[in-house]
Structure 1
């Protein structure tokens, strides 16, 4: 299943393909955790214990597997303390699963649900932590849609520090890879075998910014960190490149009846090159 939503920053989508189809959230839910944490009033400079034991949403405890984490830094701090700000940064810039659950333990699931509500999400939720398999087996699933991911980034308007952090995402292998080198983009991706998603706010130099969300669930997603090893990452990059090519149509001021949006559909992609 491939879902794509394109929208001008601050505007309604101009193109949607299966925009309300739910997908496993993968690491895109970390944006909602970040928003909830910053809005909670928590002291981000406070040092918190770095542990690997968390309350499961289904009762009991669970922990993360370091072999499934993309960031070794929080693991190197295990048994010590770290500033909450550092953990929030690694959650986004290096997609740390351990840091995510440490941040989630501080802010709580209710606050994350509030971040989704504030965004106006209709089909997305994050009822459990990363790798909480007990909760997953009990039917608690982290879900997102491409349309809700666009809404989530739109909801960060007025919080430039959060968008600035998203610009520092180190994994520039899918959405960002489809943009010209040096293009400013605030984005978050998520992946594991069978899933590859990315949502970003793109800032062209020659027109207003726009939003793109791509969610893919299927056999092309190898779960690899590198685009060369993940055909789904290359697919997302191709979609991103096509939307970039049509960026002026995507972001132009709408004309016509009140509430109408511009006409800038991104072309439906073909199979990715191998």
Structure 2
């Protein structure tokens, strides 16, 4: 399949000879060599080669011919090769960021906030009470992820209100950068306040006063967490509206909608 940048996207299953689909490296090598020669003659620039997990024997064949790893998922690995010899590669790098959310959950009836202690991870075993947090799943929007994390970790049903703030850092796992959205949620009308923790991830959870939330010895004054906590308090006191999330048409002649984050007017 040709891409929009003068390259090709190739699934290794496209080589439809029976011995190739069976994972025969020798047959795959012959087919790949012939294809690269054809692509080069046509002026193809970049080649994206998707190799399925069940044909992993094709990977060393491809790397021995100059293909390099780009990214991997559970069911495949993607390799790339830049063909022009007289110019630098313009193949884009793999995704550089992970995206996380922290859910500041306010019970408007009691003015209490939802806090958890994690069972595992860097926040565990430190007597650290914190807002529920987690990473976005592929294709998931920030508001949806925040509500999902709260439901999974505590069993509390919430509604999205606002994005309180965002932190951008370069300390993510495996060398990735990290975007973290602090989201303001409220308990749904009529929803239970009874907490049911996720035992695989959460050690404890509780409803706490705002004073307990703010009086956190692990939060250093002047730090990014300190600034976000201060904004949480202002939002809870109706002194700060945050950033609203509008779901708007994608546009450019394409179907679908996307969340667009803009300041409250």
The structure that has the greater radius of gyration is: 2
> Which TM-score applies when normalising by structure 1?
0.22
Whose relative contact order is higher, 1 or 2, with alpha carbons under 8 Å and at least 6 apart?
1
More helix as a share of residues: 1
More strand as a share of residues: 2
